[in-house]
Amino acid sequence: MKSSDIFPEYVTGHPKGERQRRSSKRQTNQENPKPRPPDSIRDKIPFYGRLPKYSGPYQVGIIDLEIPAREPRQFSKIKRDHRHTFVLETVLVSIYYPAHLDSASEERIQKARSKHNARPTWLARPRHLTVEGYAKFASLPQWPILAFFMMTTYLTKLPAYRNARIAEHWPEINEEWHNRKTNSTAGPVPALGPLQPKFPLILFSHGLGGTKTSYSSVCGEFASHGFIVCAIEHRDGSGPRSLVNYNPHDSPRRGESEAAMHAKHNRPPKAERSYGMVDFIMSEKDKYDTSPDHELDHELREAQIALRVAEVDEAYHLMTKIHAGRGNELKEQNLRKAGMPGASSLELDGVDFRTWVGRFHVDNVSMIGHSFGSTTTIEMLRSSTRYDYIKRGIIYDIWGMPVQPCTPQHHINAPILGINSEVFMYWGANFDIAKGVCEEAGEVGQPAWLVTVRGTVHIAQSDFCVLYPRLAGGVMKMTMDPVRAIDVNIDASLDFLDRTLHFDGEDDNHQAFRRNLPEKKFLDLDVEKGMPDEHKPDPKYTAVRLKVKHEGRKKLKPHARQRYWDNLREKGEEEVWVHMAPGKEVYPDGNDDEGAHQVEEQRPDEPQQIPAHSTQ
């Protein structure tokens, strides 16, 4: 008997898409989450946080790499604990990618041989240090936070296979492969195409409080549809905690770089340690400077952005080495070796970078970021002369306060898609900035969209809402199913990439991700004529939570959320609001509603105050 047949929805966390789709006779405008492959026994524990498997036709592999920076350097004179804070030493990434057909069976063999699990944990190892970092980030005692994670996600695994072989097959075409027992089947090879697909590359930048695995649902979804995703873990003090391993063979270079910078690296007090820790950094001027109606610490945020941009560029050059057949050099340089902090006991066992040579595009790269990561994405897009490999950007719920005004020399000239959460849409000043950066691209003839996923909160584009649905719904008043929210964001993003991702001299149809594109085209919806306000919160909760009218009464009624979406369907409303879309004179298949770009000038009133900072 299935756990979903025994436990109600509020216990299992979110409805099972396949079961709901079969049993529901009514079709609602908020569709159920996409069907996923069957869960393992480990994933069926109803009381424990779990991540659903990915909805694309590929299994997903994951590789962790930490490589010394080409030019270690300092980015600011800001200090914490008498040490310079913003120093580039190494770059740490997780690479999500389409995996080989036999990845699931190989994982079982690998596990039997090594006596270690081949699926990585969601919390970075060593997990107790990561939990300490989250406690510091939340300004709470360590032991309650440790107990909380122990009861929820301390043992949660990613639905990705560590060090799996890269996929060599084409995916099936628009078939419900996920209704089978496995997804280890290949689709037909294109008649005039290559025998193996060549995957597009995505660089992903996390927001404040994020890590390289806290957006695994988004990164893994892209990989399952046929993308290589390089997720960077920033060491700019924006994450809860990140460990920096020191290379034991680079002491001469370290000494030279320290002398050049007139600064010490973030070495811990104990000399015997081989690693340093970068914890979350708050502004000394106003620790709530990330919140509405608070003054931004420009010096701090500009230093973080400068370091973030350098880390993205380092990550890109790491990927070019793999593409060019220099992956074995990275194996030698990799600092995440067995026995070192944060490293897997598997290291890079089983990874043959020779099979990666020429298997992905490095001159036509997409960049995606969430919140502060979206701010980083904007900076990369504006620096197109220096970072000419970035050809388009997707900004999830941008935190716009650190975005600098554009200039003729520092201007976006690339396609862009902005996807807001509903809670951030009501933050008027931030919405204006999101609108402005999209208009910036439209002014030079580039296609740009700005949409809002209704019923969502700021963390809906990360793993946190999926792992903690009761927190999202009960505290933040999120009304959309967390897994469905991920699906909507991915579907809109795939629609955008399908329209803007083109390769010179190649048949665009020979792209694996185009075989299973979403049927619903969110970007073709009509542009909204006004600013919605149905869940507009009180000013003190701006950017933090939504407001649900008559919430107590609705909680007493069964299926209240289902009826809410039924009513929307009857009114002809959709899951997203489109605020801006290109006209036909900018993009041939775009909307043509009264001009190239439309956005209602009316916006919510400015917030008056907020009691605490929100995670950006």
State mean pLDDT over 117-134: 90
Supply the pTM of this predicted model: 0.87
pLDDT of res. 270: 45
Write the burial class of residue 418 (CB in 10 Å: 0-12 exposed, 13-18 middle, 19+ buried): buried
pLDDT digits (tens, 9 = 90+) for 33-60: 887 877 666 666 666 788 999 999 999 9
pLDDT value at 414 more than 60? yes
pLDDT of res. 307: 97
pLDDT tier, 585 (very low <50, low <70, confident <90, very high otherwise): very low
pLDDT of res. 175: 59
pLDDT of res. 216: 97
| Cβ-contact 421, 456 below 8 angstroms | yes
> Phi, psi (5° rounding) for residue 200?
-70, 155
Instruction: Indicate the SS3 state at residue 405.
Output: coil
pLDDT tier, 341 (very low <50, low <70, confident <90, very high otherwise): confident
Residues of the chain with pLDDT > 90: what percent? Answer: 59
Provide the CB-side half-sphere exposure for 209 (13 A, CA): 18
For residue 482, list its beta bridge partners: none
Q: Which residue has the higher pLDDT, 278 or 263?
A: 278
pLDDT of res. 6: 40
For residue 54, the 8-state DSSP code is P
pLDDT tier, 602 (very low <50, low <70, confident <90, very high otherwise): very low
H or E element, residue 142? helix 142-152
Measured CA to CA, the distance from residue 83 to residue 558 in angstroms comes to 56
Query: Taken in order 323, 492, 16, 20, is the CA torsion positive or negative?
Result: negative
pLDDT value at 433 more than 80? yes
Closest CA to 360 of 387, 334, 327: 327
As a whole number of angstroms, the longest Cα–Cα distance in the chain is 70
| Cβ-contact 213, 122 below 8 angstroms | yes
pLDDT tier, 391 (very low <50, low <70, confident <90, very high otherwise): very high
pLDDT value at 119 more than 50? yes
pLDDT of res. 616: 58
pLDDT value at 577 more than 50? yes
State mean pLDDT over 158-175: 89
- What the block records as the tokens of 561 is 């959320």
Q: Which of 31-35, 294-298, 453-457 has the lowest mean pLDDT?
A: 31-35
Residue 546: alpha-carbon gap to chain centroid: 22
pLDDT digits (tens, 9 = 90+) for 252-264: 334 444 444 444 4
Residues 498, 500, 503: CA angle, nearest 5 degrees? 90
pLDDT tier, 250 (very low <50, low <70, confident <90, very high otherwise): low
Q: Which of 14-23, 153-162, 318-327, 395-404 has the lowest mean pLDDT?
A: 14-23
pLDDT value at 112 more than 80? no
pLDDT tier, 269 (very low <50, low <70, confident <90, very high otherwise): very low
Residues of the chain with pLDDT > 70: what percent? Answer: 78
pLDDT value at 342 more than 50? yes
Mean pLDDT of the chain: 83
State mean pLDDT over 412-441: 96
State mean pLDDT over 558-569: 75
pLDDT of res. 97: 98
pLDDT tier, 558 (very low <50, low <70, confident <90, very high otherwise): low
pLDDT of res. 249: 61
Measured CA to CA, the distance from residue 334 to residue 95 in angstroms comes to 14
pLDDT tier, 573 (very low <50, low <70, confident <90, very high otherwise): confident
Closest CA to 566 of 24, 23, 28, 1: 28
pLDDT value at 592 more than 90? no
Q: Which residue has the higher pLDDT, 335 or 118?
A: 335
State mean pLDDT over 175-204: 78
Measured CA to CA, the distance from residue 257 to residue 70 in angstroms comes to 11
* For the ranges 24-28, 197-201, 251-255, 583-587, the one whose mean pLDDT is highest: 197-201
pLDDT digits (tens, 9 = 90+) for 466-499: 999 989 988 999 999 999 999 999 999 999 999 9
pLDDT value at 594 more than 50? no
pLDDT value at 354 more than 90? yes
pLDDT of res. 10: 38
| Cβ-contact 582, 447 below 8 angstroms | yes
pLDDT of res. 606: 43
State mean pLDDT over 267-280: 69
pLDDT digits (tens, 9 = 90+) for 215-233: 999 999 999 999 999 999 9
CATH numbers and ranges of domains, the chain:
3-580 (3.40.50.1820)
> Phi, psi (5° rounding) for residue 487?
-60, -45
Strand 448-453 vs strand 416-421: parallel, antiparallel, or unpaired?
A: parallel
pLDDT value at 1 more than 90? no
Q: Which of 447-461, 507-521, 594-608 has the lowest mean pLDDT?
A: 594-608
